[in-house]
Structure 1
Amino acid sequence: MTEHENHGDGAQVNTGTSGEPAEAAAIPELVIISGMSGAGRSTAAKCLEDLGWFVVDNLPPALIPTMVDLGARSQGNVARIAVVVDVRGRRFFDNLRESLADLAAKNVKRRVLFLEASDEALVRRFESVRRPHPLQGDGRIVDGIAAERDLLRELRGDADLVIDTSSLNVHELRAKMDAQFAGEEEPELRATVMSFGYKYGLPVDADLVVDCRFLPNPHWVPELRPFTGLNEEVSSYVFNQPGAKEFLDRYAELLQLIAAGYRREGKRYVTIAVGCTGGKHRSVAMSERLAPRLAAEGVETVIVHRDMGRE
């Protein structure tokens, strides 16, 4: 005999003779926030809290599946959970992979957000608040940062989304979080196409890096030097060079294959870095042409020109 229990909101749950639900409860969406101390984990967590997520700070990884189970029993009151995992719980990191496997077996929609920053930025932040790094012990701040990077290396490699906060203020980080998590419906794949200059260093949060320095540099054309790749004259100059259009076509085709693989593997975020010498002309022009190609394939795409304003 099968009964129906009415839960007051019009929904009915089928139960067997034992009275136990025959169908699984609604499983909450999960985001695991981790990364370097001083990189902005607290700001990211506060932003998700403001967006309506249920946030738990410093939860041991072994207890994450239990937290999700409790959320599933809340009858929809806890639909999205964010858990902050940091070095204060470092003895629990051995359990994290087992917990993630447990979540995958339960078909939990989960993402790992990793917050990154350069050594210089982290040292500056710790010195400004006059606090020691949690892992420095009797050593220097840089010793604690090095130890933490080593501890979190594997987790960073497994992260779904890496945000480099080295040059971001609190408001800019919140804007990035809003862009990634505020949408009503999560896209299958979201891409950031970032132009950059090699002389300023590689973007540390890049998943894919491509080099446009094989093309002639508009910097050496006096009438083009003051402009950027956003200017039509510069863009036309770049794409009238031998190999430029062919490169764009073939790289866009390659990204279609990669995007399909990312979707199959459940990867939801990708940062594609496009570089030239100064990040002002060739990489900007190429990024502006590449992003619409991705968007046409159903990839939600944003463009960031990291170094365009630098001299």
Structure 2
Amino acid sequence: MTTDDGRPADGGAGPQRDVPPSLDPTSTETQPLEVVVVTGLSGAGKNSAGRVLEDLGWFVVDNLPPALLQPMVELGARGDLRRFAAVVDVRSRAFSSDLQEAIRVLSEAGHRPRVVYVHARDEVLVRRYESNRREHPLQGNGTLTDGIGEERALLTGIAGEADLWVDTSDLNVHQLRATLENAFAREGRTPPLTATVMSFGFKYGLPLDADLVVDARFLPNPHWIPELRPRTGQDPDVRDYVLGQPDADEFLDRYTDVLRLLIPGYRREGKRYLTLAVGCTGGKHRSVAIAEEFARRLSVEGLTAAARHRDLGRE
């Protein structure tokens, strides 16, 4: 097209074509990203968690300093990235405040940052470091436990604001993968609330990453029935025995009503992950059967729910 005097209508610049922002180096247009920050204790499995996310299709950057988180996200948002994950490690005493500020700025910019806090018990971390013959990054001239303690103190602020806690003390790599897949393998669509129902044994300690804890020890213990003792709550005979107790149905019904009350509130507050822990003495019979049933009921309520059995197989 030309003007009346024969000049090109574009002012002489020739034909104009739309250039996608991802290919235009001068473009400042950005699109909101899903952002996951994986942080936590050294030796707890942050890098393993990052590899799982990478396998799930996330663009993952390892050992990213907090100060570079915002520039990296903005760079990715100008391109074709939609899901970005960063593994952030302890590198300075300003770590926690720097990371919290970066997350705040990203949220205000319209991105959707989530924090996954990976941790483990001290004795587990010590065992892992000793088996690898490595020093803790904050150990300095002190002991290994000194370094772990200092790191826990540095992480207090960000740990309290984390969206998802993952305790790897009793997880193998396959269980860690299943935990993260349950939370993130949604082809870019994050469900409003994802639930993990975890069975455990009280004699092995309370799960540190539980939001709610239920005690199933009021039910008769299949351990004292010889034909049921070697089996688990996943066995139909044990499940039928546990769920067939006179109080079991009423307990499940009433606690499901409690969950129906809590779930809308969790959603309003933006909570994305719920961990319901169900305990019995050893985590083999009652808690396993009840956890499986709660996972089924939560699925009926419209949640993405999965059962995980922390202590199953332990003697």
- Normalising by structure 2, we get a TM-score of 0.85
Q: Is the 8 A contact 1:135 1:148 kept in 2?
A: yes
Partner Cα distance (1:92, 1:189) in 2 = 29
1:48 matched to which residue of 2? Answer: 53
2:290 matched to which residue of 1? Answer: 286
1:225 matched to 2:229? The reply is yes
1:308 matched to which residue of 2? Answer: 312
- Gap change, CA 1:46 and 1:230, over 3 Å in 2: closer
Letter in 2 for 1:33: V
Partner Cα distance (2:17, 2:92) in 1 = 41
**Shift of residue 49 of structure 1?**
2.9
**Shift of residue 171 of structure 1?**
4.4
Matches within 5 A, 1:230-241: 230-241=234-245
1:169 matched to which residue of 2? Answer: 172
Q: Deviations over 1:47-73 (max 9, x none)?
A: 323433222333332442332222222
Partner Cα distance (1:10, 1:86) in 2 = 32
Q: Deviations over 1:121-163 (max 9, x none)?
A: 2111111221111112211111111111122123222111122
Q: Is the 8 A contact 2:96 2:158 kept in 1?
A: no
Partner Cα distance (2:44, 2:300) in 1 = 34
Partner Cα distance (1:247, 1:172) in 2 = 29
Letter in 2 for 1:143: D
Letter in 1 for 2:202: Y
1:299 to 289, 298, 303: 303
Letter in 2 for 1:47: V
1:127 matched to 2:124? The reply is no
- Gap change, CA 1:89 and 1:236, over 3 Å in 2: same
Partner Cα distance (2:179, 2:234) in 1 = 23
2:150 to 130, 147, 150: 147
Q: Is the 8 A contact 1:27 1:72 kept in 2?
A: yes
**Shift of residue 255 of structure 1?**
1.3
Letter in 1 for 2:140: G
Partner Cα distance (1:249, 1:205) in 2 = 25
2:114 matched to which residue of 1? Answer: 111
Q: Cα RMSD (Å) of the superposition?
A: 2.5
Between the aligned residues of both structures, percent identity stands at 57
Partner Cα distance (2:269, 2:214) in 1 = 22
Partner Cα distance (2:199, 2:275) in 1 = 10
Based on CA coordinates, which of the two structures has the bigger radius of gyration?
2
**Shift of residue 285 of structure 1?**
1.6
Letter in 2 for 1:31: V
Deviating more after overlay: 254-263 vs 233-242: 233-242
Q: Is the 8 A contact 1:55 1:81 kept in 2?
A: yes
Deviating more after overlay: 265-274 vs 45-54: 45-54
1:273 to 267, 271, 277: 277
1:15 matched to which residue of 2? Answer: none
- Gap change, CA 1:309 and 1:98, over 3 Å in 2: same
2:185 matched to which residue of 1? Answer: 182
1:262 matched to which residue of 2? Answer: 266
3-state SS in 2 of match to 1:87: coil
Q: Deviations over 1:165-196 (max 9, x none)?
A: 22333444344434433321322211111111
1:30 matched to which residue of 2? Answer: 35
Q: Is the 8 A contact 2:21 2:78 kept in 1?
A: no
**Shift of residue 302 of structure 1?**
0.8
1:57 matched to which residue of 2? Answer: 62
- Gap change, CA 1:171 and 1:212, over 3 Å in 2: closer
- Normalising by structure 1, we get a TM-score of 0.86
1:199 matched to which residue of 2? Answer: 203
- Gap change, CA 1:224 and 1:51, over 3 Å in 2: closer
**Shift of residue 275 of structure 1?**
0.3
Deviating more after overlay: 167-176 vs 294-303: 167-176
3-state SS in 2 of match to 1:88: coil
3-state SS in 2 of match to 1:253: helix
Q: Is the 8 A contact 1:27 1:71 kept in 2?
A: no
- Gap change, CA 1:9 and 1:236, over 3 Å in 2: same
**Shift of residue 305 of structure 1?**
1.8
1:244 matched to which residue of 2? Answer: 248
**Shift of residue 20 of structure 1?**
8.5
Q: Is the 8 A contact 2:38 2:87 kept in 1?
A: yes
> Structure 2: which 5+ residue stretches go unaligned?
1-9, 11-15
Partner Cα distance (1:46, 1:6) in 2 = 39
Q: Is the 8 A contact 2:182 2:306 kept in 1?
A: no
Q: Is the 8 A contact 2:216 2:286 kept in 1?
A: yes
- Gap change, CA 1:245 and 1:86, over 3 Å in 2: same
Partner Cα distance (1:164, 1:102) in 2 = 28
Partner Cα distance (1:175, 1:95) in 2 = 31
- Gap change, CA 1:310 and 1:169, over 3 Å in 2: closer
Q: How many residues align?
A: 297
2:7 matched to which residue of 1? Answer: none
